[in-house]
Each structure stands twice: as structure tokens, then as C-alpha cells.
Structure 1
């Protein structure tokens, strides 16, 4: 299992590898043929699980609920049914109280084909995540897929107790293509893969304190990180929110203090001003080396 790439797995493969062998029980599987009511009207092919797998399992012998988004279906986009399945999983967690809820994110954000329904669904998911956290059940998000975790799902991820990322994973509010289309290629070149990963990738999120664990792109590493996070409760308190806001204000101040040097992008400048050693070499370092550079 150690050699299996997490990013190359499908949603069901990720669940099967992460959970204890044979323990996963899926709710609303494809046999139920629960599809989006909107896609057919638009002539868009549907999926019988609407692009998300939900259910219960054990992890290290402990009961957990899992949801895994399938990025191969409409980029893992959240629509009405997709979002309702996530909300239903979280509300059921309030009743049955598993040891944790794991969200395996693989999404570009809200599904544009049903934008309003998707936006409402994301807001309901965020509320449900916070309700589960308030009940003392940790919500852990795993980010290491080809689509990353963007848009509404990026906001959902930052509402959770614990974020696990690989160096391949990406996490942000707006995706690179969205930024480029809105502000031009001069602002952000979505084709510059090195730039994209420097500003949204797992290494960057680890160094800036936006994720709690940085792992290699293997199923074994993600499973180990998920096991370690089963007790990662982070109560939503005023003090926690104020600390988060202080972190963001400091980050903004570091970038605004003096202009970014010519030929250097914001990410490298921010790393250097955070006190990260060898900031210019971060992209070339392995995960173990980057773990030791964090200063926040």
C-alpha cells in the first residue's frame, strides 16, 4: 500500500485504502441512481452517485464517517445532490457520533451547471461542519488530488479542525484559471505550473500555517495522518478566531511592508519574510526537508 499514489486513485479507491479493510459501508451507492435533477435538463451526462461517495467505516478500529469526492466527474463540482449528501453525512454524525468525519476533497468548487443550488449547498455544508465541530467531533479534510480543493470546498476545508495535504495537493479560494480569466495572465499565469504550486500547493500551505500536516503522495502517508488526526479537536472559540485573524493580518503586513523584489513572486517573498530558511529553494526540497522549515 505504501507505493500507491493517493492522487492517482479514484474516490472509491481512496476510501478503500484509507479505511480498515472491508469496513466501509456506502450510503446512497450508485445502485440507488440518485442523480442531479439539473444536469439532465441541460443535456449534461449524470453520475449515479453525483460525484461523491459517503458512508461509514472504521479507521484503526475506530468508527468514522467518510465522504470522498470524485474529481473525474465534473471536476468534483458541488451541486444540489452532491452537497445534500455531504450535509446528510454531517447531520448523521451529530446523531451517531463517530470518532471523526473525514472529507476527502477533490473539487474545483461549485458546479457551474447548477450554480445557485451549488452555492446554497456549500453554505449548508459549512454550517454542518461547524455544528459537528461544536459537538466535539473532529472534522478532518484530506487534500491530495489532481483537482485540488478550490472555491466553495476551499472554504469548507478551512472550516474544519484539521487539514492534511500532500505536496501535490492544492488549496485556495479561487482556482488559477478563475484568477487569470478575471484579472488577466499578467496577474496570474494559470499555465505556469511552478507558480500555481508555489502559491496554492501543499508546501506553501504548510509554511504559511494553513494546513496541519504535510505528507507524501502515498495512501499509507494519508492513512497515517488521518489516524493521527482522529483526536484533533479544535474548538471554535473567540480566541481561536482572533488568533486566525491575527495570523492573516501579519501575513498581509509582511507582503505590504516593502515591494516584492523584481523577478520574485509573492510566495517566495512571503516565505523569506516569515523567516523560512532557503526560501528560494523550497520548491526543490522534499517533504521531510520542508516540514522542518515551518516558522508559524
Structure 2
């Protein structure tokens, strides 16, 4: 019997884990995507699939585990699916870099008019414009966890003025972090708003008609959080009027239905929830799995535990 039984959802992650070097003695890796019966009654470390994983967590009913290691940062829909007696960790440290990269890509593409150039090229047209810069813009960063900090670090070389907002006001070595209750006074000054809050009862519908109405004409709203953080009807109304611009990696509903009116608006840029979907993910996920294996073998507390059912 192995000292530590680890299940992984597929060969790609398994191979990435093994590429980091020999496993400690007594560690066994087994492939299990939670679509079939559990390979054992007791599993030390379970890694569910990346996409659509939460409903599959029901497969852990009756299985004794020491840790369920998600491949995502967000876990808003996990509590309703996770059977009792489980310790659940998110994938902090895996997706922050890729999500921050996509955020900057969306901001730069929207500011410099890249979607319009692509449309013109498809029509065989040369269509120069004098676009808005990112430099010298006032950026409101709503959400200051790991992803927010990664975005801030990547914004710094672009010579912007960043105002940070978190769930509560505080100060750090870089200055003031405003509380989310201060948004009404902050929104009117923002030229770019980046929304990266976790989805909670308090943040569901945060970006509503009142939030958007407080922004100045021409402002850009970027949502890389969760779709339900924003009111889609309110976004559509402002976008259709042409008053505001939007770059959305997440939507509500998701996927956005085919031929949804948001797809056809020139001031809306949509990516299909791919913030963490880059080649950086798998090596980082493998490193996190190896760290969790080492900690379980040493009898230490796992990293990133966010929920105990």
C-alpha cells in the first residue's frame, strides 16, 4: 500500500508532475477524472479536473481524503457540491500571472483600437486612428488579492495612476488601499476600471447600472472576475449607447449565447474566460501538487486551504 495516494484528472498534469523529478518513495499517482467510481476508499490528495469541476465533486461522497486540490482560484460554487468532511484548497500561485497578462492584453487592445484594426484588415481596409493611450490614464483596480497585485505590478511600467480597492480600507508599503464602500467617490474619476473581485454575496451584481452610471463618458470597464459580478443588462445598455467601453473575459450567462448582442458591438471586446488558460498553467499546477505532496508527507498543513466542509 502506498504511503500517499494521489489522483490526477489526466495524463497532462501527471506528466508535468513527473517532469519535476522522481516522486518521493511511497507516492503513487493514479488517473481519476471523477467521472467514474473512486479508485480507493481513501485517497490522500485528489486533484479534480480544471473546467466544470464543481458538480463532479459529488463523486467524493463516501471517500476519505486529506486534501482536495482545485486547479482554479475561484471556489464560489464549491460549497454546494463538496461532500462533508473534505478539506479544499484553491490554486493560488497558479493563475495570477496568466490572468494579469490577459488583463493587460484586453486593456491595451481596447485602448489602442486593436479590434477595429482586425475588423478593417478582414475587409481589406487600411484604417489608421489616433487611439487612447494606456499611459497617463487613471486606473481603478477593484479587487486586490493575488490577481490584483499581479495586475498592479504589470501596470507599473505603463506610467498609469493606479487606485486600489479591496473589501476593506487599509494601508500597505505602497500607500492607501481604499475600501469597496468608497467606490461612489472613486468611480467618477476612473478612466479604466479593472474588476477582479471574488464572487460572493456582497460582490454579486456589484457592477450594476448605478456603478456604470457613475463612470465618465468613454471609460473602459474590464471584468476578469466572475460573470455574475456584473449585471449584463446594465452593461448592454451602456455599451449599446456607446457611452462606455467594455473588455470582458467573463460573462453572465457563460458561455455567452450565440449571437448575443454584446458580440456585435464595436466597443465590446470579449474573450471566452481564458484568463488562466495559458502554457504557464500546467507547470505551475504541477509545482503546487508537488509542494502539497511534500507537505502531506511531512504532516504539515497544506497550502491554500479555503474551505472545510
Q: Please, what TM-score do these two structures have when normalized by structure 1?
A: 0.30
Larger radius of gyration: 2
Select the structure with the greater relative contact order (CA < 8 A; seq sep ≥ 6): 2
**Structure holding more helix per residue:** 1
Query: Per residue, is there more strand in 1 or in 2?
Result: 2
TM-score (norm 2): 0.29
